[in-house]
Amino acid sequence: MKTIKTDVLIIGGGLTGLTLAYYLKKANITFKILEANNIVGGRIKTQYNTNQAPIELGATWLINQQVNALALLKELNITIFQQHYGNTAIYHPNQDQAAQLVQLPPNNAASYRVANGTYSIIKALEQKLDTNTIACNQIVQSIKLLPNGLEAKTNDTTYHCKHIVSTLPPLLFSKNITIKPALPIAIQDLLKNTHTWMHNSIRIGFTYKAPFWKAERTSGTIYSSVSIIQEFYDHSNTDKNLHALSGFINPSFSKHTKEERKILALKQLQSYYGDQALDFESYEECDWSNQKHTTIESDSFLMPQANNGHPLFKDTYLDNKLFIAGAETSTVFPGKMEGAITSSQFVFNQLKAIYK
């Protein structure tokens, strides 16, 4: 087993980890990112197909109040564009009522998507880093406090460092990594009882040659309590020349196969749009409950956003050498991209004060 030394070891190559690395590089603090998957990105996942609209299967939307995220995108020269909802929505409240076209209230708080897909943020951050600072397929198994720092062991490497920053969802961190000496009971309990954003979400999308949902007396915005699709939105690209519908389906359909989910979703879309809904180019999906390096089963039911942004996440552990970061730990927009970026900034400012 080989040994690698660095100042800061970042566990997780999602938005929090990559943003933190971006700031550390600018401050000339050495670091290493360990990512369990074979690519970075975390819960940002965009499917790119040639000559088709990018399909978002993970984090997607931003709003004007998410100032840290918008500032980072501006710094990275990444553009955004306004999500198209239209003036109406297809609303299907229950099995006993037919779907109806309802008027949407005026939208005074616009939401935005990232031009060329949300994964553009990940690619831009990755390009700012040296290639040897990211190690994929590295599953951290243990963290141990040493007299002069910390030791982390993965499936094939031992890392010695001064500080470790975990950006994993807290529940995943608590269940998958052994820590010696054990963390205080209060933070152990908190980690186990923190809800993981999107842990059971299923995102799907269909690409199409023409946006038939933009015709008169219909809509690309769908809200349904019937069948598989719960929320769907227009997902055409920023140039409005590549078209798609994308959104969320009922998590209970996780037990179905991908093909079964596709057939059920098409049947529902056909009931709203007719046979033109069947003439799709591609179908994409991501069942986040199956992403073993993102989420893990909780021992008990957790309410959505339970313990997100808890004050104990701001504390440091293992002689002030271990930091717990990530979207769920932020007091600002926890679980969102804004929360991930705000968390990285908070930890960076703590590390900068140490290494100045």
Residue 58 falls inside a structural domain: no
Based on the fold, state whether residues 143 and 275 are members of the same structural domain: no
Based on the fold, state whether residues 179 and 37 are members of the same structural domain: yes
pLDDT computed for residue 107 by the predictor:
77
Residue 64 falls inside a structural domain: no
State which of 292, 327, 343 marks the end of a domain.
Answer: 292
Based on the fold, state whether residues 286 and 209 are members of the same structural domain: yes
CA-wise closest residue to 250 among 217, 227, 281, 220: 227
Based on the fold, state whether residues 130 and 29 are members of the same structural domain: yes
The total of structural domains in the chain comes to: 2
Q: Given pLDDT bands bounded at 50, 70 and 90, which one contains residue 1? A: confident
| Model pTM above 0.75 | yes
Residue 129 falls inside a structural domain: yes
Residue 75 falls inside a structural domain: no
CA-wise closest residue to 260 among 235, 234, 287: 287
Q: How many helices (H) and strands (E) does the chain have?
A: 7, 21
Counting residues of the chain whose pLDDT is more than 90, the rounded percentage is 97
Range of the domain at 106: 85-114+200-292
Residue 218 falls inside a structural domain: yes
Close Cβ partners of 197 (under 8 Å, ≥ 6 residues apart): 43, 169, 305, 308, 327, 328, 334, 335, 336
Task: Write the Ramachandran bin of 227: left for phi over 0, alpha for psi from -120 to 50, otherwise beta.
Answer: left
pLDDT computed for residue 355 by the predictor:
94
Q: Given pLDDT bands bounded at 50, 70 and 90, which one contains residue 109? A: confident
Based on the fold, state whether residues 233 and 161 are members of the same structural domain: no
Instruction: Give me the helix-helix angle, 337-355 and 67-75, nearest 10°.
Output: 70
Maximum C-alpha span of the chain: 70
Instruction: Find the Cα–Cα–Cα–Cα dihedral 11, 13, 18, 19, rounded to 10°.
Output: -70
State which of 276, 292, 308 marks the end of a domain.
Answer: 292
Contact at 8 Å (CB) between 351 and 163? yes
Based on the fold, state whether residues 225 and 353 are members of the same structural domain: no
Looking at residue 104, which CATH number applies to its domain?
3.90.660.10
Based on the fold, state whether residues 27 and 137 are members of the same structural domain: yes
Tens-place pLDDT, residues 86-100: 999 999 999 899 999
CA-wise closest residue to 55 among 257, 272, 291, 237: 237
Based on the fold, state whether residues 99 and 217 are members of the same structural domain: yes
Residue 329 falls inside a structural domain: yes
- For residue 40, the Cα-to-chain-centroid distance in whole angstroms is 11
Q: What's the mean pLDDT in 288-309?
A: 95
Instruction: Find the Cα–Cα–Cα–Cα dihedral 49, 66, 286, 102, rounded to 10°.
Output: -90
